[in-house]
Amino acid sequence: MAITRLDAAINLARSNSLWPLMFGTKCCAIEMLMATGAAHHDLARFGAEVARASVRQADLMVIAGAIVKKMAPRMRLLYEQMAEPRYVIATGSCAISGGPFMYNSYTVVRGADEVVPVDVYVPGCPPRPEAFFWGLLTLQRMIREGETIREPGVRRKPVMAALPEDVSLHEIRAEIRAALANENVIDVTQAANQKPWARKVREWIQRASLR
């Protein structure tokens, strides 16, 4: 009981005192800085406004923008130098999967998870401030519920959604099975008549019969 209460106190302090690292891989970092430092959307209300230029004092890395292969080892080095426990949020499609730059490119890394372990993904191109704050709230919930001093190297990610009380997993599977069955029933005659070549054949038959 004492350790459980100590876990709750430590995790509550950690989740409400995240110190982001002043780091960005591309221009999206400037967009996130402007979007989260304004009056309407402010990181201060979440306790994460203490941005640090030193990796020794930061425990949160926000990856915004595409990661080139020349930047990847530097980013890994910065991550290794951050204080423990350290967390990573990947924001935007470029940081998550390489974005539009991954096609026909030999310089872009296809996802931040190939370089550092990512805790929370925030989709978007670029993501809205509300989406970023939702990712931050998700990280805070993960810290409060998924860490214990009994296992300092283990981090459990909580389930963010649950089934309604009146719905069972068996009912969901039955509904999915019925939907798949309805979508995959094909009327052969109707499908054949909708083909372009079928219309041309009918027109040819009609012209031949008129002759």
CATH of the domain at 128: 3.40.50.12280
Q: What is the mean pLDDT of the chain?
A: 78
* Amino acid making up residue 98: G
Q: Is 105 exposed, middle or buried (0-12, 13-18, 19+ CB in 10 A)?
A: middle
How many distinct structural domains can be found in the chain?
2
Residue 156 lies in a domain: no
For position 27, what pLDDT does the model report? 76
Domain that holds residue 63: 2-146
- At residue 63, the 3 state secondary structure works out as strand
Please check whether residue 200 lies inside any domain of the structure. yes
- In this model, does residue 164 exceed pLDDT 80? no
39 & 84 share domain: yes
SS (H, E, C) 155-173: CCCCCCCCCCCCCCHHHHH
Would you say residue 27 lies in a domain? yes
Domain final residue pick, 131, 146, 161: 146
Q: Same domain for 100 and 173?
A: no
Tokens (6 digits) for 53? 């230029």
Q: What is the mean pLDDT of residues 100-120?
A: 83
Contact present, 87 and 143 (Cβ < 8 Å)? yes
- Residue at a domain's end among 115, 146, 177: 146
170-181, pLDDT tens digit by residue?
Answer: 888 888 888 888
Please tell me whether residues 63 and 124 are part of one structural domain. yes
Q: What's the order of all strands across the beta sheet hosting 60-64?
A: 60-64, 87-91, 120-122
Q: Evaluate whether residue 17 is within a structural domain.
A: yes
The yes-or-no verdict on residue 186 having pLDDT over 70 is yes
Does the pTM of the predicted model rise above 0.95?
A: no
